[in-house]
Copies of this chain bind each other. A is one copy, B any other.
Amino acid sequence: MVVSSIFESRRIAVSGLGFKKSLKAAGRRVTRTRQAVLSLLERTAQPLSATEIFDQLQQEKVSIDLVTVYRTVHVLKELGLVAQIELHQEGQARFELKEGREHHHHIRCQMCGAIVDLLLCPLKKLTKLIESQTQYIVDDHTLEFTGLCPKCQ
């Protein structure tokens, strides 16, 4: 259970800590824009694209360049704080917080684009089978479903 200071909202408090440690440990700086991007990802259920992050922060009157958004998600990803998701036929990457979340996959509505987490991964056994069949050493996998969400059916 997380207890937040009365001087900050819970969300900011929670993320700020692990986040700042990770950045400093990597010799990187805690900047306004990095905090803004991370805070937005925390407040958002769906994985966001760079332009979505940019647009949303604009609306929130946070001044940030789109290039900086790209550089920021790149840094957050290499620190392991953020996962990059490339959904089929979307043509753009999306990013979501990893902090404290299990490895999982997604289903996306091909009509409206709504993305839902699938909190499961059925591929542990299959991975071993593939390794023995192909002689590859498996490092990672992607799995994604597409279809129609309840609203769009």
Contacts and interface: CB of A to CB of B under 8 A. Distances in A.
A122 B116 CA distance: 21
A67 interface: no
Contacts of A149: 134-136
Interface in A95-153: 107, 109-110, 116, 118, 120, 122-123, 126-127, 130-131, 133-150, 153
Specify how many copies of this chain sit in the oligomer. 2
A78 interface: no
A84 to B, nearest CB: 8
A136 B147 contact: yes
B142 A88 contact: yes
B122 A136 contact: no
A136 B114 CA distance: 10
A65 interface: no
A44 interface: no
A147 B143 contact: no
Contact of A88 (B86, B116, B130, B133): B86
Interface of A: 86, 88-89, 107, 109-110, 116, 118, 120, 122-123, 126-127, 130-131, 133-150, 153
Given A107-B130, A141-B143, 5 more contacts: A86-B89, A134-B149, A135-B149, A136-B145, A141-B146
